[in-house]
């Protein structure tokens, strides 16, 4: 289990992290979300001991020092490999730095290249690969030594939907294998799909924390999708309706300030008659992200 | 330890597999090969114009030819043909060896005087033969013959610096400082670029999540050191091979034999404690170069990274010049203890023979202690230097790098 307790970090007058707390049990995926500059990379750098910080970070109850480096798989935000090495040399070199022998790693390389559908062979130079394929090789370098703590900084950036699915599956496989995984992403769909829990940072502070379902539920089912022949003006006059957005012809999204108003609205709209659509939902992660990020300017 | 070795070996392999290293290694050998080849072609083209032919009494002729094969063209069988070759400038001259009434005579015919070296050999040869004839004619007993062979003893006890000694020092000085300077400039540049090219790249974050920055830094420096040791070993073995070849080659062996004392003195000056100074000098400059590489603003500035170290090395190199004929100067003594300068100045003193073992030990101790302290401190701040990517001034980068992990 990764435990981050009361972690704070300042750069001069800038408080990059302010009393951060979260835990990631074994076999669990945590999504770290937040706007640029919210403190996601600083959190990762603190976990990896690149920075000295106030507070306590432990992995399996031990401080993160060189003795646990071999259990860590880290993918930095920007991709970077050694361009003059071949794919095989690069993977073997980084795996050897994780105390894996070349003998152990070499036979696995082809399987991993196939798993991530890398276009190229292990004998190709890194510089000859496309950017996307270099990114996949870097992902292989992160995962091939079977790490138990995986830290992925924006792993989906630059990947097309097909490759995103491959990565999601690899992350889920690692989780099922008992790894604790933390990744940052701006793509809330991926977070929603893959994460068991999430933490949202804003200005170095945690503003959201919990499972994806719990986080959404805390906002209440204030989004109401209806398909009706009522006009938008008429709908906006209904009680507790904050705004009305027309999505398609006769299809509207109503934002409510009270989720319990849904029943009265349903009665008002249907009068016991058939209605094509009436769906009351919590806000999506994307909307929550926007709301929470928007609070910054309030 | 294992990870340190992995970084060391990877750095070493990457360097020795580069074309730059191959060119660096084979360059001097190619130049040597071309020189030898050109010399050989020229010598072949001259068709042994320095050789002589020998005629006369068969036994004498054979004995002389046997002792001086390299100077004699045995393919010429008659005086007439020898004269023609001399006229065509393909033969230096011809020698006629005879004995008449127990008198050994040697007559040389040539366009120019016989070479001094051959003339000496001929004198010794004819004297020996004449002496044997004299003993035989005088019918001396073995004891009498032995006492007549008694030679005076000649022994040189030199207390004053001789011309050869000074020349050896001068040659050793120049070879040493040029060698130190060339190797330092080459490897500080390689090291600084190697480190700078990784500066601010995210691969450093991946590496620092696998091993400590100190291990990685020391591994890098050791990797470059291994490259240098490899180069020096190749040069020493290759040099020894070329020297052996030159000793047996007809083109060079006479010159080598004539300058045997000088060559021996130069080799003695070079293959001594001075090699340790060369190696440690490269280590300290390499560590400084690594720091400079880590201090560039971004990897694109790699080519500029080595400049400060190159300047320092150049300074030390040029400061040696005024003292090439005055190696006893006080400044030489002082600088022989100052790290970064001692690699130039202590070898100067060693060549001059005025450095005592204690002085050498103190100078080495200062150099080694400085190397350890520098490696320790730079290793400690290395992660901060390598992970920061802000494009500010040199001093700001140094300050932020030091403060990065505080």
**DSSP three-state, residue A99:** coil
What's the confidence (pLDDT) of residue B43? Answer: 60
Q: How many CB pairs under 8 A join A and B?
A: 57
Q: B10 CB near a chain A CB, below 8 Å?
A: yes
Task: Tell me which chain A residues have a C-beta less than 8 angstroms from the C-beta of B10.
Answer: 93
Answer whether 0.90 is exceeded by the pTM.
Answer: no
- Could you read off the pLDDT tens digit of each residue along chain B, which spans 406 residues? 589 999 999 889 888 888 888 888 888 778 877 877 776 666 655 555 678 899 988 888 888 888 888 788 888 888 888 888 888 888 888 999 888 888 888 999 987 888 887 888 888 888 888 888 888 888 777 787 778 777 777 776 655 555 566 777 778 778 888 888 888 888 888 888 878 877 767 788 899 999 988 889 999 888 988 988 898 888 888 888 888 887 787 777 777 777 777 788 888 777 778 888 888 888 899 899 888 888 887 766 766 778 888 889 889 888 888 887 777 788 889 999 999 999 888 888 888 888 889 999 999 999 999 999 998 888 888 888 888 766 667 677 777 666 655 4
Q: Which of B191, B226, B285 is nearest to B4 (CA)?
A: B226
What's the confidence (pLDDT) of residue A270? Answer: 85
Q: Residue A294 and residue B263: Cα distance in Å, rounded? A: 82
Tokens matching residue B208: 């620092």
Vertex B315 angle, CA B313 and B318, to 5° = 110
Alpha-helical runs (H) found in B18-162: 19-45, 58-67, 79-87, 116-138, 142-148
- Max Cα-Cα span within chain B: 103
Give the CA distances from residue B219 to residues B198, B279, B300, B323, in Å, rounded to whole numbers and listed in that order. 14, 17, 23, 37
Q: Residue A53 and residue A255: Cα distance in Å, rounded? A: 42
Whole-angstrom distance between the N-terminal and C-terminal Cα of chain B?
A: 26
Contact A70 B210 (CB under 8 A): yes
Length of chain A, in residues: 298
Task: Tell me which chain B residues have a C-beta less than 8 angstroms from the C-beta of A45.
Answer: 205
Contact A93 B10 (CB under 8 A): yes
Residues A73, A180: contact at Cβ < 8 Å? no
Contact A80 B201 (CB under 8 A): yes
- Provide the 8-state DSSP code for B392: -
Count CB atoms within 10 A of the CB of residue A234. Answer: 11
Tokens matching residue A227: 């398909």
Poorest-confidence range of A22-26, A90-94, B345-349, B383-387? B383-387
Task: Tell me which chain B residues have a C-beta less than 8 angstroms from the C-beta of A138.
Answer: 206
- Kindly identify which residue of chain A lies nearest to residue B203, measuring between CA atoms: A80
Task: Tell me which chain A residues have a C-beta less than 8 angstroms from the C-beta of B6.
Answer: 93, 96-97
Round the CA-based radius of gyration of chain B to a whole number and report it: 31
**DSSP three-state, residue A79:** coil
Task: Tell me which chain A residues have a C-beta less than 8 angstroms from the C-beta of B387.
Answer: 50
Question: Which of B2, B14, B210 is closest, CB to CB, to A94?
Answer: B210
Q: B1 CB near a chain A CB, below 8 Å?
A: no
- Max Cα-Cα span within chain A: 73
- Rounded-to-10 torsion of CA B123, B129, B131, B137: -150
Q: Residue A35 and residue A30: Cα distance in Å, rounded? A: 17
Contact B211 A81 (CB under 8 A): no
**Half-sphere exposure for B372 (CA within 13 Å, toward CB):** 6
Q: B2 CB near a chain A CB, below 8 Å?
A: yes
Task: Tell me which chain B residues have a C-beta less than 8 angstroms from the C-beta of A99.
Answer: 2-3
Q: Which residues contact B391 (CB under 8 A, 6 or more apart)?
A: B297, B298
Please state the rounded mean pLDDT for residues A135-143: 92
Pairing of strands A2-11, A54-59: antiparallel
Task: Tell me which chain A residues have a C-beta less than 8 angstroms from the C-beta of B206.
Answer: 74-76, 80, 94, 138, 141-142
Q: Which of A47, A52, A64 is nearest to A9 (CA)?
A: A52
Q: B205 CB near a chain A CB, below 8 Å?
A: yes
Residues B227, B9: contact at Cβ < 8 Å? no
Q: What is the ipTM of this complex?
A: 0.83
- Kindly identify which residue of chain B lies nearest to residue A86, measuring between CA atoms: B14
Task: Tell me which chain B residues have a C-beta less than 8 angstroms from the C-beta of A79.
Answer: 202
Tokens matching residue A175: 């989780």
Q: Which residues contact A66 (CB under 8 A, 6 or more apart)?
A: B211, B212
Contact A48 B404 (CB under 8 A): no
DSSP string, B307-359: HHHHHHHHHHHHHHGGGTT-TT-HHHHHHTTSTTTHHHHHHHHHHHT---HHH
Q: Tell me the sheet residues that pair with A201.
A: A34, A206
> Which of A40, A57, A80 to substitute to test the interface with B, most B CBs within 10 Å?
A80
> Which of B16, B205, B386 to substitute to test the interface with A, most A CBs within 10 Å?
B205
Length of chain B, in residues: 406
Q: Which of A83, A5, A84 is nearest to A46 (CA)?
A: A5
Q: Which of B165, B240, B197 is nearest to B14 (CA)?
A: B197
Alpha-helical runs (H) found in chain A: 40-47, 66-69, 87-96, 102-115, 131-143, 161-176, 188-194, 212-218, 232-236, 261-270, 285-295
Residues B279, B342: contact at Cβ < 8 Å? no
Contact A66 B383 (CB under 8 A): no
Q: Domain spans of chain B?
A: 52-148, 162-404
């Amino acid at each position: 289990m990764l435990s981050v307790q009361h972690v704070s970090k300042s750069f001069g007058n800038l408080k990059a992290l302010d009393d951060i707390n979260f835990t990631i049990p074994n076999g669990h995926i945590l999504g770290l979300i937040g706007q640029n500059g919210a403190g996601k990379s600083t959190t990762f750098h603190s976990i990896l001991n690149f920075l000295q910080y106030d507070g306590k970070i432990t992995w399996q109850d031990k401080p993160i020092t060189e003795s646990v480096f071999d259990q860590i798989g880290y993918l930095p935000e920007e991709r970077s490999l050694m361009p003059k090495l071949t794919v095989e040399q690069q993977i073997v070199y980084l795996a050897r730095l994780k105390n894996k022998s070349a003998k152990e790693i070499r036979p696995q390389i082809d399987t991993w290249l196939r798993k991530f559908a890398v276009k190229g062979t292990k004998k190709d130079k890194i510089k000859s690969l496309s950017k996307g394929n270099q990114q996949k090789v870097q992902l292989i370098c992160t995962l091939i030594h079977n790490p138990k703590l995986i830290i992925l900084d924006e792993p989906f950036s630059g990947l097309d939907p097909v490759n995103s699915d491959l990565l999601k599956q690899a992350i889920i496989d690692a989780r099922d294998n008992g790894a604790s995984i933390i990744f940052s992403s701006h793509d809330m769909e991926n977070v929603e799909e893959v994460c068991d829990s999430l933490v949202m940072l804003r200005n170095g502070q945690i503003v959201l924390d919990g499972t994806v379902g719990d986080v959404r539920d805390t906002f209440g089912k204030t989004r109401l999708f209806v398909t009706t022949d009522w006009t938008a003006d008429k709908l906006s006059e209904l009680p507790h309706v904050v705004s009305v957005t027309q999505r398609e012809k006769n299809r509207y999204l109503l934002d409510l300030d009270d989720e319990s108003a849904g029943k009265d609205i349903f009665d008002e709209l249907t009068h016991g008659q058939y209605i094509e659509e009436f769906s009351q939902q919590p806000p999506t992660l994307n909307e929550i992200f926007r709301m929470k990020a928007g609070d910054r300017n309030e | 330890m294992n990870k340190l070795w992995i970084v060391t070996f990877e750095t070493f392999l990457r360097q020795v597999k580069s074309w730059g290293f191959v060119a660096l290694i084979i360059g001097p050998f190619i130049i040597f090969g071309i020189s030898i080849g050109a010399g050989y072609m020229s010598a072949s083209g001259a068709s042994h114009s320095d050789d002589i032919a020998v005629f006369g009494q068969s036994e004498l002729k054979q004995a002389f030819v046997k002792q001086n094969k390299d100077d004699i063209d045995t393919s010429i069988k008659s005086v007439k043909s020898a004269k023609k070759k001399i006229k065509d400038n393909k033969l230096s001259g011809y020698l006629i060896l005879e004995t008449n009434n127990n008198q050994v005579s040697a007559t040389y015919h040539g366009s120019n005087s016989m070479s001094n070296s051959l003339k000496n050999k001929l004198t010794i040869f004819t004297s020996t033969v004449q002496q044997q004839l004299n003993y035989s004619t005088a019918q001396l007993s073995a004891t009498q013959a032995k006492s007549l062979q008694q030679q005076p003893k000649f022994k040189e006890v030199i207390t004053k610096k001789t011309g050869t000694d000074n020349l050896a020092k001068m040659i050793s000085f120049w070879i040493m400082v040029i060698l130190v300077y060339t190797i330092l400039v080459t490897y500080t540049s390689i090291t600084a670029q190697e480190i700078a090219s990784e500066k601010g790249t995210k691969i450093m974050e991946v590496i620092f999540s696998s091993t400590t920055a100190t291990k990685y830094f020391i591994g890098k420096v050791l990797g470059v050191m291994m490259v240098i040791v490899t180069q020096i070993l190749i040069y020493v073995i290759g040099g020894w091979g070329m020297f052996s070849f030159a000793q047996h080659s007809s083109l060079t062996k006479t010159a080598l034999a004539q300058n045997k004392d000088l060559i021996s003195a130069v080799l003695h000056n070079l293959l001594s404690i001075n090699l340790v100074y060369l190696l440690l000098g490269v280590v300290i400059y390499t560590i400084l170069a690594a720091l400079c590489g880590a201090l560039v603003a971004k990897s694109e500035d790699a080519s500029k990274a080595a400049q400060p170290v190159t300047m320092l090395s150049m300074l030390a190199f040029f400061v040696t010049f005024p003292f090439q004929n005055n190696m006893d100067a006080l400044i030489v003594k002082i600088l022989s203890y100052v790290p970064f300068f001692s690699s130039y100045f202590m070898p100067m003193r060693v060549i001059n023979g005025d450095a005592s073992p204690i002085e050498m030990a103190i100078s080495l101790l200062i150099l080694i202690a400085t190397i350890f302290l520098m490696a320790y401190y730079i290793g400690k701040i290395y992660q901060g230097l390598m992970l920061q990517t802000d494009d500010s001034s040199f001093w700001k980068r140094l300050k932020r790098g030091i403060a990065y992990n505080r």
